[in-house]
Chain A
Amino acid sequence: MSDTTVAKPGATRSLFLRQSSGLVRAFTWWDGLIYNVYAISVVAAATLIFSLTYIFPRANLPLGIVIACLAFVPGCVVYAMLTTIMPRAGGDYVWQSRILGGFWGFWFVFFPLAIGATIFIVSNVLPGAVAFISPLAHLLGTQFGIGALQNFGDWIATNTGQFWFFVVFLAWAAFVVGSGMHFYARVQRWLFLVGMIGLATWLIAMLVTSRESFMANFNSLLAGQYHWGSGNAYGKILADAHKAGYAAVPLAQTNLLDTILIGPILAYIFAGVFWVGNLSGEIGGVRQFRLSLRIYVGAILGAMVICGLLALLMIKVAGNDFYTSASYLWWNSGGSSYIPVAPWLTLILAALSKSPIWWIWVFLAFGCWFMIWPTNNVVGATRYAFAMAFDRILPARLASVAGRNSPVFAIGVYVVIALIMGWLYFFGNLASIILDQAILLTAGFAVTIVAGTVFPYLPATRQRYFDSPLGKYRIAGLPLITVMGVLSLIYFGFLLGEYAFNGTFGTNNPSSAAFLGGGMVLSAILYFGVRAYRQRQGVNMRLIYQEIPEE
């Protein structure tokens, strides 16, 4: 089923399909693009990640976004080609295992991407607690004079509050995903619609608001709602950061080196474009390369435009020095113990007006962007688990579905692991492992790019690549996928090099090495243990991945 056909209107037809099962009309590239944007959920991610770029005070955030997104375009081409040639659920695992071999596919996907997703969700809920529920509850409590709601808003931003929000969010994600893809898609569609309306109103509001109005609104909001800043919160933030030694600069004084160096931070958002690979088998029409290409490249370019505009207008209205100073203080002065509400994108958006209705609208619309983001982690992880279970590496129950055709057991396992990771993050003094997931995700995706790069050259896969209609695309005589793969790997090499050797990113330390190394070693032990176990059952797992010769 799900074979698709697209005939060129008015052109001489070549394809004459008979009436047979599965001839569904193509799911348009635009539908696929929207689906991909769901997964990246640029606004929610941007809120958190933009604030972390303060580490490089002289970075030009909007330009950095453009550079990071363009650097991912060659990778998008590789993913689009792999998706067209092998459109499967569990994409990265399937591609790596079929091209590089079963062990490599498992090794670079199980811990980095499947388990990585359980770590990912811990940090992904942070913006929900700090930039959605907390300010919304506080503002509603203030407006309606409900002290308990106000206190709840303040509590949810604390470490304990964030953990419990994480627990509740996990329950929400499990419920939505466990209710089946039909329900999940419907929830996503509605949240996306409201989120997009919110985004449009934010952009317009930022466009028409002056710096002076913003400063006045910001001071008023912080003083009136949070009794903070003595009527000059804007000036206090700049002064406190300066006093703490932070050298904030206006946008005009930024430089290219720092702008490039925020790439590893921004990759946390924009590498999300590759996350859709695990769902590629469920998007119709991707067997048409042009459509597949538009889905990936369209998504990264769309993310570039949305995030670039958000960043540019945010800096226009708030000032680069103010935004980086506020971010610096949030991350280095105790978070909510310094300033009662996270000075992230949402707070800046709220301070575009003095209207409580506008404030509530900002946080509600942001909530719509947020609620569809971490939920995708659950979906992706279960797709990997399903593909691995079908290959007999993980227990078959992970591939089983129940109720509304949902992998309930796999979801349950995901939730348990995520809860453990969450506890370690919030109470186990292991918050730094969150930073390590940047390495995990980047490495997992990079290996898929490697697989695509060598696809046309390995004896076992060469024929399959050149049999596909994409085999004809060449640049300077070299297969397109290889050229794009090499270009992409240059940037991935830069990212991984920075994570590994630049202490700024918080991953170049013994605990990260132990966590990452330990996880990879345990993955390898798991793989070979299962292989030995299956061997005793009479299942030769090496044969599972080996291509049958035609003769």
Chain B
Amino acid sequence: MQLYFCTDIHGSDKMWRKFLSAEKFYGVSLLVLGGDVVGKGLVAVHPNGKGYWTDFLGEQLKARPGDEFDELLRRIRTFGMYPVVADDEELARWERDPNVYEAAFEAAVTESLQRWLAELARRKSKATRVIVTCGNDDPRYVDPIFQACPDIIFAENEVIDLGDGFSMLNMGWSNVTPWKTHREATEEELAARIERLAQAVPDMDRAIFNIHVPPFNSGLDNGPELDHELRATAGQTVPVGSRAVRDGILRFQPLLSLHGHIHESRGVTKLGRTVCINPGSSYTEGVLQGVVVTLDRREGLVSYAPTQG
């Protein structure tokens, strides 16, 4: 069995389409998307009479109605942002009332995910399974959207039977971050969640952990060190992963453990017998980082190949 795992695509249309293409491109029968599916913000596209303009990643982009406008929206979506045409009055409402902004954001996320899932239905082979889990950055309102989709297995907080004796434990929650995101818990709570899920794993020698946050101090969890104003300090990184995840891996020793969360901390390491992989994420570069894993009923983990699609 071959599976393809990627994570942290953060709303990028391009990454989603590449994720769907990975099935045929790598010849795998199982696609796993490991959380942080939702983008990080809205990009206001301002109408100016003759057309539109926006300030995006420090660059001012202009477009006339028609193809240029469509192209502008496509480029913004490629980077995982949600373009919304908004005049000054609308922007003022976003600024004044966070609830208005949140409603606009939720509408944009919902529209985007529904478009994604429609594309999935159109492109997916019947024999291929697609597992989606959430990450700490994914609001709770995305759960019912995924749950309602018949073409994916929404595996958040569940153990899934992969066949051939393999199973996958899935958890998108992270330890507490400075940003107070949607799925955070204390280390004690995370340990309890892992413990509860692990009880449902039939054979740890054939188990794959798909846990969004990487284990603490594993080399897969080095994030920029921040000062008290959440400002990155020069060239310094610190481990920011979860101690509960580390303890869980060392205790249960699954065959393989897949992670994400820390985009810049891609790498492979071993904790005890467990191979731990964080493929990282470069979604803003238009590159889908992932890993192709080959499993065998008798041999277990045959190989893994990090990819830069």
Q: Using a CB–CB distance below 8 Å, which chain A residues touch chain B?
A: 1-3, 6, 8, 11-27, 31, 34-35, 85-89, 97-98, 181-182, 184-185, 189, 279, 281-284, 287-291, 386, 390-392, 396, 399-402, 405, 463-464, 467-470, 472, 534, 537-541, 543-551
Q: Which of B222, B223, B305 contacts A544 (CB 8 A)?
A: B305
Give, as a whole number of angstroms, the nearest-CB distance from A280 to chain B: 11
Closest to B184 in A: A21
Enumerate chain A residues within 8 angstroms of B266, measured Cβ to Cβ.
390
Q: Taking the complex as formed, is B157 at the interface, i.e. its CB lies under 8 A from any CB of chain A?
A: no
Q: Which of B17, B177, B229, B268 contacts A551 (CB 8 A)?
A: B17
Enumerate chain B residues within 8 angstroms of A34, measured Cβ to Cβ.
234
Enumerate chain B residues within 8 angstroms of A15, measured Cβ to Cβ.
41-44, 55-56, 81
| A400 to B55 Cα, complex, angstroms | 40
Q: Taking the complex as formed, is B287 at the interface, i.e. its CB lies under 8 A from any CB of chain A?
A: yes
Give, as a whole number of angstroms, the nearest-CB distance from A400 to chain B: 6
Q: Taking the complex as formed, is B231 at the interface, i.e. its CB lies under 8 A from any CB of chain A?
A: yes
Given A25-B231, A88-B282, A12 and B88 contact (CB-CB distance below 8 Å) = yes
Given A545-B308, A547-B309, A24 and B232 contact (CB-CB distance below 8 Å) = yes
Q: Taking the complex as formed, is B75 at the interface, i.e. its CB lies under 8 A from any CB of chain A?
A: yes
Other contacts beyond A15-B43, A23-B40, A24-B232: 18, CB < 8 A: A8-B55, A12-B88, A12-B91, A14-B43, A16-B41, A24-B224, A85-B285, A185-B233, A185-B235, A390-B268, A400-B219, A467-B14, A469-B75, A470-B59, A539-B305, A540-B305, A543-B25, A551-B17
Contact B309 A546 (CB under 8 A): yes
Contact with A along B285-309 (1 / 0, CB 8 A): 1111000101000000011111111
Closest to A19 in B: B179
Q: Which of A22, A97, A182, A464 contacts B286 (CB 8 A)?
A: A464
Give, as a whole number of angstroms, the nearest-CB distance from A493 to chain B: 29
Q: Which of A3, A19, A391, A540 contacts B180 (CB 8 A)?
A: A19
Q: Taking the complex as formed, is B125 at the interface, i.e. its CB lies under 8 A from any CB of chain A?
A: no
Closest to B221 in A: A405
Enumerate chain B residues within 8 angstroms of A17, measured Cβ to Cβ.
40-41
| A284 to B227 Cα, complex, angstroms | 14
Q: Which of A14, A184, A396, A463 contacts B268 (CB 8 A)?
A: A396
Q: Taking the complex as formed, is B103 at the interface, i.e. its CB lies under 8 A from any CB of chain A?
A: no
Considering the complex of A and B, which 6 residue pairs feature the smallest CB-CB distances, nearest first?
A548-B309, A401-B219, A469-B59, A17-B41, A14-B55, A550-B17
Contact A289 B58 (CB under 8 A): yes
Contact B239 A405 (CB under 8 A): yes
Enumerate chain A residues within 8 angstroms of B261, measured Cβ to Cβ.
1, 21
| A27 to B294 Cα, complex, angstroms | 40
Enumerate chain A residues within 8 angstroms of B58, measured Cβ to Cβ.
6, 288-291, 469
Q: Could you jot down 20 A-B contacts, CB within 8 Å?
A: A12-B46, A12-B55, A14-B55, A16-B41, A19-B181, A22-B223, A24-B224, A24-B230, A27-B233, A31-B234, A181-B237, A182-B236, A401-B219, A401-B222, A401-B267, A405-B238, A468-B286, A470-B59, A534-B305, A543-B307
Q: Taking the complex as formed, is B264 at the interface, i.e. its CB lies under 8 A from any CB of chain A?
A: yes
Enumerate chain A residues within 8 angstroms of B225, measured Cβ to Cβ.
182
| A14 to B101 Cα, complex, angstroms | 13
Give, as a whole number of angstroms, the nearest-CB distance from A373 to chain B: 16
Contact A550 B235 (CB under 8 A): no
| A546 to B25 Cα, complex, angstroms | 10
Closest to B42 in A: A16
Closest to B44 in A: A14
Closest to A470 in B: B59
